[in-house]
Structure 1
Amino acid sequence: MAPDFPGIPSSPWHMWRSDAGRWWATRARRFDPDDEYEGAYRTVDGDTQLDLVRSIAQQESAAAVRLATRLARTEEAPLRTGDAC
């Protein structure tokens, strides 16, 4: 089976071109539910392959920023009595 992105054998996105010529991609694994609630899309489209890759990059980048924000909040939260270290 050929990779969806040439040169990237294990892309988490599956990409195809519709009969109408539009490019589509869907992510093999779901985003974190919080990311989806905040607008992460598992399926994206674009007029060109480049537009599609940009849409994928925007989704992955936004999810990474949200994850970093959640991790930063966790690190800043003080431990309460009984919390595991």
Structure 2
Amino acid sequence: MSFDRHLAEIAREFPEWTIWRSDAGRWWATRHRLLTEHERDAGCAMTIDADDPDGLRERLLEQRACLPETEPDR
């Protein structure tokens, strides 16, 4: 599958992220919004990277799973 096709598929699957591939060949994703303190405490990251598109998809799924269900009472 071509680079562009991988990029488009991941971007469609994870619309809350900007996906790109660096000149060095690494795959990156960064969120469209800032994380809350609660999300950071839960282990969520603003930007992640991987060696290949499959690795990036796996990391994005991990990030989706780390999102807390609700914000704590303030």
State the TM-score, normalized to the length of structure 1. Answer: 0.63
Please name the residue that 2:27 is paired with.
Answer: 23
Kindly report the root-mean-square deviation, in angstroms, between the aligned alpha carbons of the 2 structures. 2.5
**Structure 1 position 37, deviation (Å):** 2.4
Aligned to 2:47: 43
Alignment-derived partner of residue 5 in structure 1: 8
Gaps of at least 5 residues in structure 2 are: 1-6
Amino acid at match of 1:67: E
1:78 is aligned to: none
* Deviations 1:11-67, CA, capped at 9 Å, x for gaps: 01101111110000001012332111232101000000110111111011111xx22
Choose 1 or 2 for highest CA Rg: 1
TM value normalised by structure 2: 0.71
1:37 aligned partner, one-letter code: D
Contact 2:17 2:31 in 1 (8 A): yes
Calculate percent identity across the aligned residue pairs.
Answer: 30
* 3-state SS of paired residue (2:39): helix
Number of residues of Structure 1 aligned to a counterpart in Structure 2: 66
* Matched residue, 1:67: 69
Flag the structure with more relative contact order, 1 or 2, with Cα contacts below 8 A and sequence separation at least 6.
Answer: 2
Paired amino acid for 2:61: A
